Amino acid sequence: MTSPTGALGASIQALDGVSRVTGRIRYASDARSAGALHGAILGSPHAHARIVSIDTSALRGMTGVRAIVTSRQLLERSADPYLGGVIRDRPPVALDKVRFAGEPVAAVAAVDEDVAREALERIRIEYEPLEAVFDPLAALAPGAPMIHERIRRVVPWRPEIPAEAAGPNVVHRFFQRRGDVEEGFRRAALVVENVFVSPPVQHAALEPHSTIATATPNGAVVLTASQNPFVLQRQLAQLLGVPTAHVRITVPPIGGAFGGRLTARLEPIALLLSLEANGRPVRIELNGSESFALGVQHPARVALRTGVDGDGRLIAQEAICHYTSGAYADTTPNLISRAYAATGPYLVPNLVAESFGVYTNQVPSASFRGYGITQVCWAHEAQMDAIAAAVGMDPLAIRLLNVVHPGDPFTTGEPLPDLHYDDLFRSAAQAIGWSEGTRSIVGTRVRAKGLAATIKGMATPTTSNATIRLHGDGSIDALVGTVDMGQGSGTALAQIVAAALAVNPSAVTIRVPDTDAAPFDSMTAASRSTFCMGLALRDAAARLVEQLAEYAATELEAAPSDLVLGQNGFSVRGAPTRSVDLVQVVRASGRQIMIGAGSFIADRSQDGHVVRLDAEGQGYGSAEWHPAVAACEVEVDLDTGHVRVIELSVALDIGTVVNPRLANLQVEGSAMFAIGQALFEEVRYDENGHLANRTLSDYQMPSSRDVPEVLLVDFRDPVGSHEIHGVGETALPPVRAAVVNAVGRAIGRSMTHLPLTPETILRAVLTGPLVAGEP
Amino acid sequence: MRFAFDVATPRSLPELLTLLEAGDDTRLLAGGTALTIMISRGLVSPERVIDIQHVDGLGDIEHGDGETTFGSLVPLRSIELDSGTAASLPVLVDALRHVANVRVRNAATIGGNICEADYASDPPAVLMALGASVRLASPGGERIVALDDGFFQGFYETIVEPDEVLTAVVVPHPPAGARATYIRYVSRSAEDRPCVGVAAVVRSDPDTGMVRQLRVIVGGVAETPQRFPDLESRAVGARLEPAIASEIAAGYAEQIDPIDDIRGSAWYRRRMIDVFVRRALAAIGGEPSANGLGERA
């Protein structure tokens, strides 16, 4: 039994592309429900305060108000008031205290928005303000205000996370040790130390956050823009104390997510309001400014101390990372382990990495495209440039000297599979003319080139399930939990199904997630869907073909093993005219529909080991390792500090490219995220912990006019693996680092704080120390 | 959210003026690119909005002898695409081409832009440098005010009285041989509002090359566009050479008291005023170019 794979590798247009750009997609924020109430949320004015009392008596009898939710209703209605993927530390509305400015304290549902907002104004809340802390090091210092109790609720399936926190305001600590780092430093000819600081940045997806929740007699129905509908389903079931199967989540196509839609925030509040309103649907929609308080990328402080021998070989590194978690743990316990990539894809025989997630009284940090790697990547890549300058080596040469080769051990001790960084470095560097000189000056404008590499893991373990249905007329649909957020998953997955069933991709419909129909999928995140859901769909297709082949074999009077699946259906090997098409096979089966169910569990490394790290960070860290190298040329105006990215090239190995055009767009999108983060994106707070730039005018993102004049993407598959790997995030970390490194080389300064605004650069030019060979 | 204000939609200027006479707490809506944001953010909450988009006769561009008159409702994009304006006022077209983005320029009007008096805006500086004036109509008649004659009073403040409406912007054509430039400097994304905008127009003696008149307006750095005639006059009677340009630029940097905002600190802005005044003067100081256009940042 063989089948062709023609649909793979074709740059077909996104199947929903025309609908997206002509406004025909019905997003969650476009959805309305007859009779739905309008929900509105009251946020805390304090960054840290005890709630003394909540008085909602002024709302009694107020016309149009149908429901109120405060801590009282939460405790009455919920089986368990706490939410959280790993550490359950967050109630949907504050219980006894607030931990960041804007944290939901109360919510109302009313017949319209004006009544809802007026009702919020009438709620009287007495707070006892507490000292707040905004800096991670200050939060860890003795005497710092305690944001959470040290004994906390950890989900039972994470036994490695202790019930007692590692220290006051510590969310979790990750530790890694390999070799003998002190001995390594003793042997070092040179030791370079730097601290690299990344600010919080915003997801800023275009679609507003919105949800419609309806409490049903035995559960709930929720329409929402979520990246992990099945996790949300379980969380809401747990909140209400009802079986998972009684909660239904549907997710329309989403207008951008980038990690910002992985946390249950509006849904539990809308659901509680609906319960209070006797099951009337409740719709909550935040405006753009309100969405800014939902989550940010983890701000991070990465301190690196690196020892090098006389030839420029890395022999020891100590990395101390502080990832700011903000007010709640969210994904931080998982994310801080990305300190395992604090050396990048370079061989370091002796290392220590210690990484802390730290509570502060700020907007909770959330998953973000580049998941914890972005922050350490620019640190190790800026460090590598500082080392190159100190030992007088070319940045490319020192990287080629130290980079891992296939089979070399990673920081976890695991042998790295087929990662061909040499090839990626040469491709990316050559594309921007690295060897043609790295610095030139015209007038006040200096041009320089920069390089960076990344190694990015994928969340492990995760699971994808899929169901493929072949209908009586030959049409095909697939029920999956993968969310199309604009990344084109619906198109890429259709191509994978089409290839497996030898049909045209346009004949395949990938359904939007509905937990009543689709089987469990962990999430649409971590660059995992094309890989994990792609394999689940291939499994489902194989099982479907197996069943079909039996009926076809009977029809064709041949053995199933002698059949070939092609564009005309099944035929007998060597006798192509003896064939039966898919419609005939379904008819022959008498079932009217044929269903294949498949799954993929990503819990093992490519060489078959269970992914798990021990207490010293040794073992296997990820089911997949995604490699990428970026190189760029920037122009810095020395009079103003203004930077233009002139040329950018990214080389990645993603195996078989399902759809080159869509894969390219993922790299381009990641690159533009990275350029914004390198040069000007930063969420700012005032001295009271209130967001200071929460509009898209005050918080700027790159525009289409900021795209580099030349942007080259090179997908390489040096081993011809025929495997499909993810590409949604991989370019972000190295592009951010490459831009920063190019600017540093242009002005001869080591830049350690992002973003590199023109003012930051000008001050560095005027006052900063020149990069020198000092240890 | 619903907003509590009345909306009036006059069709003619007399009808509009009658409405203005009532003197309520009123805002005029033209393109709506600024007012709608201000209302939705609660920055202004007028009792009444007069939608002037359908008022007859305010949407034309007239090319006269030595000047062009833009009706207040002309969208920025229409000016940018107008061939007559490109011929007579290339620097204006060049400046408008970089305002916000094409979606905004399709809606935003020239009159609305001026009356909004946002300090971080490009057109006011370039219009002031060109010597533009505006026509203000009221129930009592009409007055004409030059933009650099105190039209801009402060942040979002102009001399337009509550019963007045700006009906047209009149821009004189620079004489033959004059050179003009507008340099817009953004410190964040390419679509950001200006951190500094410098408009400069020079008229020189065609035979000797000596400067007869120089105007330099710096926008985006203070409450209103900044002009210092004393400093401008230092170039008069001399060639606009680097030494004079530097002296004038240093003077602007010293005399302006720059604001501190998310696009740059006062310290940074002072330095940028120096840099971009110098660059603007360098752009118009050399040999006259074929199109009378200077360099752009």
Tens digit of pLDDT for each residue in A645-685? 999 999 999 999 999 999 999 999 999 999 999 999 999 99
Q: Which of chain B's residues have a Cβ under 8 Å away from the Cβ of A113? A: 1-2
Task: Tell me: pLDDT of A45 over 50.
Answer: yes
Cα torsion at A365, A369, A372, A374 (round to 10°)?
-120
| Residue of chain B with shortest Cα separation from A672 | B189
Cα(A297)–Cα(A467) distance, integer angstroms = 34
CB-based contact, A642 to chain B, within 8 Å: yes
Residue with token string 């009409």: B142
Q: Which of chain B's residues have a Cβ under 8 Å away from the Cβ of A680? A: 187-189
Task: Tell me: pLDDT of A770 over 80.
Answer: no
- Model pLDDT, residue A5: 54
Please name the residue ranges forming H helices in A287-394: 288-291, 332-335, 373-391
- Cβ of A758 within 8 Å of Cβ of B101? The answer is no
Helix, coil or strand: residue A569: strand
**Extended strands (E) in A679-767:** 710-715
Mean pLDDT score, A35-48: 98
Task: Tell me: pLDDT of A425 over 50.
Answer: yes
Nearest CA to CA, how far is B135 from chain A (Å)? 31
Q: Which two tokens stand for residue A41?
A: 């949320």
- Model pLDDT, residue A686: 97
- Model pLDDT, residue A619: 98
Task: Tell me: pLDDT of A696 over 50.
Answer: yes
Q: Which of chain A's residues have a Cβ under 8 Å away from the Cβ of B268? A: 758-759, 762
- Model pLDDT, residue B2: 66
- Cβ of B272 within 8 Å of Cβ of A698? The answer is no
| Residue of chain A with shortest Cα separation from B265 | A759
Nearest CA to CA, how far is B101 from chain A (Å)? 10
CB-based contact, A290 to chain B, within 8 Å: no
| Residue of chain B with shortest Cα separation from A698 | B262
Q: Which two tokens stand for residue A423?
A: 């090839």
Task: Tell me: pLDDT of A522 over 80.
Answer: yes
Q: Which residues 80-139 of A have a C-beta within 8 angstroms of B?
A: 112-114, 117
The mean pLDDT of chain A is 95
Check: CB of residue A316 under 8 Å from CB of residue A306. yes
Q: Which of chain B's residues have a Cβ under 8 Å away from the Cβ of A758? A: 187, 264, 268
- Cβ of B187 within 8 Å of Cβ of A702? The answer is no
- Model pLDDT, residue A722: 73
- Cβ of B265 within 8 Å of Cβ of A114? The answer is no
Report the candidate in A194, A135, A56, A242 with the shortest Cα–Cα distance to residue A687. Answer: A135
- Cβ of A640 within 8 Å of Cβ of B185? The answer is yes
Report the candidate in B263, B25, B221 with the shortest Cα–Cα distance to residue B118. Answer: B221
Written as one string, the DSSP assignment of A571-602 is: EETTEEEEEE-HHHHHHHHTSSEEEEEEEEEE
- The amino acid occupying position A629 is V
Cα(B216)–Cα(B225) distance, integer angstroms = 10
Q: Which of chain A's residues have a Cβ under 8 Å away from the Cβ of B272? A: 640
Mutate to test the interface with B, among A292, A675, A703, A760 (most CBs of B within 10 A): A703
What pTM does this model have? 0.96
- Model pLDDT, residue B292: 40
| Residue of chain B with shortest Cα separation from A638 | B275
CB-based contact, A702 to chain B, within 8 Å: yes
Report the candidate in B55, B49, B102, B57 with the shortest Cα–Cα distance to residue B75. Answer: B102
Residue A511 is classified by DSSP as P
Chain B positions with Cβ closer than 8 Å to A: 1-2, 41, 101, 185, 187-193, 262, 264-265, 268, 271-272, 275
Check: CB of residue A425 under 8 Å from CB of residue A603. no
Q: Which of chain B's residues have a Cβ under 8 Å away from the Cβ of A701? A: 189
Give 10-residue mean pLDDT values along chain B (297 residues): 85 96 90 93 92 97 97 98 97 95 96 97 98 97 97 97 97 94 97 96 94 98 98 96 97 98 97 98 73 39
Q: Please provide residue A200's backbone torsions phi and psi, each rounded to the nearest 5 degrees.
A: -70, 145
- Model pLDDT, residue A717: 80
**Maximum alpha-carbon separation in chain B:** 64
A753: how many CB neighbours lie within 10 A of its CB? 13
Cβ-nearest to A758 among B187, B193, B262 = B187
Cα torsion at A645, A651, A652, A657 (round to 10°)?
100
Report the candidate in A466, A653, A664, A672 with the shortest Cα–Cα distance to residue A14. Answer: A664
Task: Tell me: pLDDT of A596 over 50.
Answer: yes
**Maximum alpha-carbon separation in chain A:** 85
Angle at A274 (CA atoms; ends A269, A278), nearest 5 degrees: 150
Cα(B278)–Cα(B251) distance, integer angstroms = 11
Give the torsion sign (CA, A667, A669, A671, A677).
negative
B150: how many CB neighbours lie within 10 A of its CB? 11
- Model pLDDT, residue B287: 54
Nearest CA to CA, how far is A113 from chain B (Å)? 6
Mean pLDDT score, A451-457: 97
Note the pLDDT tens digit of each residue in A266-284.
999 999 999 999 999 999 9
Nearest CA to CA, how far is A699 from chain B (Å)? 9
Task: Tell me: pLDDT of A87 over 60.
Answer: yes
Residue A311 exposure: Cα atoms within 13 Å on the Cβ side:
5
| Residue of chain A with shortest Cα separation from B264 | A759
| Residue of chain B with shortest Cα separation from A695 | B41
Check: CB of residue B13 under 8 Å from CB of residue B56. yes
- Cβ of B265 within 8 Å of Cβ of A701? The answer is no
- Cβ of A642 within 8 Å of Cβ of B187? The answer is yes
- Model pLDDT, residue B290: 38
Q: Which of chain B's residues have a Cβ under 8 Å away from the Cβ of A693? A: 262
Residue A771 is classified by DSSP as P
CB-based contact, A686 to chain B, within 8 Å: no
Note the pLDDT tens digit of each residue in A552-587.
999 999 999 999 999 999 999 999 999 999 999 999
Cα(A345)–Cα(A733) distance, integer angstroms = 13
Task: Tell me: pLDDT of A158 over 50.
Answer: yes
Please, which residues have CB within 8 angstroms of residue A4's CB and are 6 or more apart in sequence?
Answer: A499, A502, A565, A566, A567
Cβ-nearest to B189 among A113, A639, A703 = A703
- Model pLDDT, residue A334: 97
Task: Tell me: pLDDT of A227 over 60.
Answer: yes
- Model pLDDT, residue A539: 98
Note the pLDDT tens digit of each residue in A202-223.
999 999 999 999 999 999 999 9
Helix, coil or strand: residue A727: coil
Task: Tell me: pLDDT of A161 over 60.
Answer: yes
Written as one string, the DSSP assignment of A108-155 is: EEESSHHHHHHHHHH-EEEEEE------HHHHHSTTPPPSS-SB--B-
- Cβ of B275 within 8 Å of Cβ of A757? The answer is no
Q: Which two tokens stand for residue B169?
A: 């912007």
Cα(B250)–Cα(B146) distance, integer angstroms = 27
A25: how many CB neighbours lie within 10 A of its CB? 18
- Model pLDDT, residue A775: 26
Cβ-nearest to B187 among A112, A703, A757 = A757
Helix axis angle for A732-747 and A660-679, nearest 10°, is 40
Cα(A520)–Cα(A515) distance, integer angstroms = 8
Bridging pattern class, strands B6-8 and A710-715: unpaired
Mean pLDDT score, A112-134: 97
Residue A95 is classified by DSSP as S
| Kind and range of the H or E run holding A491 | helix A489-501
Q: Which of chain A's residues have a Cβ under 8 Å away from the Cβ of B41? A: 695
Nearest CA to CA, how far is A396 from chain B (Å)? 30
Bridging pattern class, strands A643-652 and A710-715: parallel
Q: What share of residues in chain A are helix, strand, coil (percent, to 5)?
A: 30, 30, 45
Written as one string, the DSSP assignment of A37-75 is: EEEEEEEPSSSSEEEEEEE-GGGTT-TTEEEEESHHHHH
Check: CB of residue B211 under 8 Å from CB of residue B247. no
A435: how many CB neighbours lie within 10 A of its CB? 9
- Cβ of B268 within 8 Å of Cβ of A762? The answer is yes
SS3 letters across chain B:
CCCCCEEECCCCHHHHHHHHHCCCCEEEECCCCCHHHHHHCCCCCCCEEEECCCCCCCCCEEECCCEEEEECCCEHHHHHHCHHHHHHCHHHHHHHCCCCCHHHHHHCEHHHHHHHCCCCCCHHHHHHHCCCEEEEEECCEEEEEECCCCCEEECCEECCCCCCEEEEEEEECCCCCCEEEEEEECCCCCCCCCCEEEEEEEEECCCCCCEEEEEEEEECCCCCCEECHHHHHHHECCCCCHHHHHHHHHHHHHHCCCCCECCECHHHHHHHHHHHHHHHHHHHHCCCCCCCECCCC
| Residue of chain A with shortest Cα separation from B271 | A640
A658 vs A18, A253, A465, CA distance in Å?
20, 21, 20
Nearest CA to CA, how far is A767 from chain B (Å)? 14
Nearest CA to CA, how far is A335 from chain B (Å)? 29
- Cβ of B187 within 8 Å of Cβ of A114? The answer is no
CB-based contact, A693 to chain B, within 8 Å: yes
| Residue of chain A with shortest Cα separation from B269 | A759
Cα(A470)–Cα(A541) distance, integer angstroms = 10
Check: CB of residue A45 under 8 Å from CB of residue A101. yes
- Cβ of B271 within 8 Å of Cβ of A762? The answer is yes
- Cβ of B188 within 8 Å of Cβ of A700? The answer is yes
Angle at A374 (CA atoms; ends A446, A630), nearest 5 degrees: 45
Helix axis angle for A373-391 and A732-747, nearest 10°, is 30
CB-based contact, A706 to chain B, within 8 Å: yes
Written as one string, the DSSP assignment of A618-631 is: -EE--S-EEEEEEE
Report the candidate in A276, A223, A273 with the shortest Cα–Cα distance to residue A248. Answer: A223
Q: Which of chain B's residues have a Cβ under 8 Å away from the Cβ of A702? A: 189-190
What are the catalytic residues of A?
Answer: 729
Mutate to test the interface with A, among B98, B188, B268 (most CBs of A within 10 A): B188
**Extended strands (E) in A179-297:** 190-198, 210-216, 219-224, 247-250, 282-285
Check: CB of residue A683 under 8 Å from CB of residue A292. yes
Q: Which two tokens stand for residue A18?
A: 């025309």
| Residue of chain B with shortest Cα separation from A693 | B262
Cβ-nearest to A702 among B185, B187, B189 = B189
Cα(A21)–Cα(B196) distance, integer angstroms = 35
Mutate to test the interface with A, among B97, B105, B184, B189 (most CBs of A within 10 A): B189
Cα(A525)–Cα(A441) distance, integer angstroms = 43
